[in-house]
Amino acid sequence: MKKTVKEFKISKEKNFNDWFNSVVKRSDLVDQDYGAKGFVVKKPMTMMIVETIRNMYEAEYKNTGHLPVHFPTVVPEKNFEKEKDHVEGFAPNVFWVTEAGAEGKKLEERLALKPTGETAIYPSYSKWVRSYRDLPIKYYQFGTVFRYETKATKPYMREREFLWFESHNVYETKKEMKAQIKEDLKITEKIVHQKLGVPFLYVKRPQWDKFPGADNTYVADVPLVNGHVVQIASTHELGQGFAKAFDIKFTDKNEKVKYAWQTCYGPGIARMVASLVCVHGDDKGLVLPFEVAATQIVIIPILFGKNNEKVLKKGIELKKKLKKFRTVFDNSDASPGEKYNEWELKGVPIRIEIGPREVENKELTLVRRDTKEKIKIKEKDLLIEINKLKKDILQNIKKTAEKLMESKIVTAENYKDIVKKLKEGKIVKAPFCSTDFEGEDCADKIKEDSSALVRGTALNVKDKLNKNSKCIVCGRPAKELVYIAKDY
C-alpha cells in the first residue's frame, strides 16, 4: 500500500532554511541520516539529475577539445606540500589517512583525501609535458572531493564529501590561458543559465579571497530568495605559480625552456542541484526543468468505479507512447489528490490526467507544474504538445528566476544602508576602494558588522562606477563596484 503524501505547506520566502531542509528530505532527494557528520546519501532522484548535468558538461567539454582522465582520490603528503599558498589555504580542511589494515599499521607517508585536484594531477603533468608539441593539455574528471567543513553542514551546499567536476588545462602562452577563462564562462552560461534556467553573478573574487595559489579566481554566485548566494562554479587563473611549484616546463619552438600557463575549472555539480531546488522551487516543493527532472511526465488515472479497465489500459498505452521520456504511470491505490501532492513535491514538470471522459473523447488533460495551468488537448497532439511545453516551462522558470535575481540586488547609499539591506535579505552593490589587498580591511569591517562577504566585481553585468564615487566603508576614492552577500 502506498503511503499517504500530505500537501507541502512550508513558506519558502518566510522560512527558507526549514523549507529547504524539508523539501530535500520529503522529495526523497537525500538521506541525511548516514551516521557520519557532513556526509549525505544521494538518492536515485538526485543522481538522475546529476547524471543529466554531467552529460551536459561532458558534451561541452568534448566540443571544446577536453579529454577525460581519472586520478586517485588520495594525494601523497609530499605532493600536497609543493605549493606553499595552496597548502596553507587548504590545510585546515584536509582529511588525512594515516594508518591501514586490521591492526592499524602506520603508513610510511600520510595521504590526504583530495580536497581539489591540483596536487593529485600536476606531478603527472610535470612528467607528461616536455615540448610545446605536448600542449595544450585539456583534461577533465568527475568524482568526489573531501573537505573537513567546520561550518554547519547542509545537503549539497556544504558537505564533507561532494560531487565535483574539474578540468585542468596547460598552455604554452598567457593569451591561451586567458582565452580558457572566457571559455569556462561560456560553458557555465550555456549550462547553468540557458539549460538549467538558473541565472548567476559571475564575479572576480578579491585578492584576499581567491583560490589558494592562483593569480585570480572567478566564480558563479547564484542569488537565493533569502539574499544569500551559493557558489556553484569557479575558474582559477593559475598563471605559472603551480607550474613552477610542480616543475611543469616545456621546450618551445626556439629550443628555450619555459614554464607553462595553467587554469582549472570546478563546476560543483551538487551545488547546481542545490540551485535548482532553491531557485525554482515553490511552496509545494520542487519545480524542475524538463530536461533534468528525474521523472519528466507522470500519468495519473482518474477512476470512478466503472470503465476503469479502459482508463488503465489507456494509461499503459500512453506510457509506451512516451517511452523516449522519463515517464511514470502512477497506478497506486492512493487518491488522485495524494498523487498530485507527491508528484508536485517531486517537481515533475508535466502531469497527464485521464478519466473515462478523456478516454471516450480521445482527449487528455495536461497540467504544468510551474504554472499549475490545466490544458485540454486531443490525444493525437500529445507529442507535439509535450515538445512545446518542455521549452515553455524552461523559459518561464528561467524568466521567473531572472526576476528574482534582479529583485534581490540593491545599491547601498551609505555604510549603514549595507547592514540594513543585508538584514532585509538583499544582495548589496556598492562602490569600494579596491579588491586588491589594500581593500581587505574594509571587507573585514563589513564581515564583522554583517557576517557578509565582499564577493567581488561582476563580469556578466553592465555596471558603471561614477567618477567621483567614494568607498562606502573608508571614504577613499572607489575603484570598483562590488557585490556584498552572505553565502553558504
Residue closest to 479 by CA, chosen among 488, 487, 466: 466
The amino acid at 213: G
Mind listing the domains of the chain with CATH numbers? Answer: 16-280 (3.30.930.10), 297-389 (3.40.50.800), 409-485 (3.30.110.30)
Residue 473: pLDDT over 90: yes
The amino acid at 476: R
Instruction: Give the C-alpha separation, 312 to 301, whole Å.
Output: 7
pLDDT bracket for residue 1 (50, 70, 90): very low
The DSSP bridge partners found for residue 453 are 485
Give the DSSP H/E element, type plus range, for residue 24: helix 16-26
Q: Is 40 exposed, middle or buried (0-12, 13-18, 19+ CB in 10 A)?
A: buried
Residue 5: pLDDT over 80: no
Length of the chain: 488
Phi, psi of 7, deg, nearest 5: -65, 140
pLDDT bracket for residue 6 (50, 70, 90): low
Residue 318's pLDDT is what? Answer: 97
pLDDT bracket for residue 153 (50, 70, 90): confident
Residue closest to 187 by CA, chosen among 47, 62, 278, 67: 62
Q: Which three cell numbers stand for residue 201?
A: 553573478
Strand 409-411 relative to strand 427-432: parallel, antiparallel, unpaired?
parallel
Residue closest to 159 by CA, chosen among 42, 288, 20: 42
In the three-class reduction of DSSP (H, G, I as helix; E, B as strand; rest coil), residue 329 is classed as strand
Residue closest to 149 by CA, chosen among 138, 134, 159, 140: 159
Give the DSSP H/E element, type plus range, for residue 178: helix 174-188
What average pLDDT does this structure show over 173-177? 98
Residue 276: pLDDT over 90: yes
pLDDT bracket for residue 9 (50, 70, 90): confident
Helices (H), 285-381: 308-321, 336-345, 356-361
CB 281 within 8 A of CB 347: yes
The amino acid at 221: D
What average pLDDT does this structure show over 456-484? 95
Residue 328: pLDDT over 60: yes
CA angle, 327 as apex, 325 and 328 as ends, to 5°? 170
- What percentage of the chain carries pLDDT values higher than 70? 98
DSSP secondary structure code for residue 205 in this structure: P
What average pLDDT does this structure show over 281-293? 97
What average pLDDT does this structure show over 458-462? 93
Residue closest to 401 by CA, chosen among 485, 295, 282, 313: 282
pLDDT tens-digit readout, 389-421: 999 999 999 999 999 999 999 999 899 999 999
- C-alpha count within 13 angstroms, C-beta hemisphere, residue 25: 10
Query: What does pTM read for this prediction?
Result: 0.93
Give the chain's mean pLDDT. 94
Residue 323's pLDDT is what? Answer: 95
List of residues 6+ apart from 102 with CB closer than 8 A? none
pLDDT tens-digit readout, 53-66: 999 999 999 999 99
Give the DSSP H/E element, type plus range, for residue 20: helix 16-26
| Count of other CB atoms within 10 angstroms of residue 354 | 24
Residue 3: pLDDT over 60: no
Residue 219's pLDDT is what? Answer: 98
Instruction: Give the C-alpha separation, 40 to 160, whole Å.
Output: 9
Give one DSSP letter per residue of 206-222, joined into a string.
PGGGS-TT-SEEEEEEE
CB 201 within 8 A of CB 168: no
Q: Is 342 exposed, middle or buried (0-12, 13-18, 19+ CB in 10 A)?
A: buried
Torsional sign, CA 157, 234, 165, 84: negative
Instruction: Give the C-alpha separation, 378 to 19, whole Å.
Output: 38
What average pLDDT does this structure show over 372-378? 97
More confident residue, 81 or 361: 361
List of residues 6+ apart from 298 with CB closer than 8 A? 327, 328, 329, 330, 339, 343, 348, 350, 351, 352
Residue 2: pLDDT over 70: no
pLDDT bracket for residue 104 (50, 70, 90): confident
pLDDT tens-digit readout, 303-317: 987 778 999 999 999
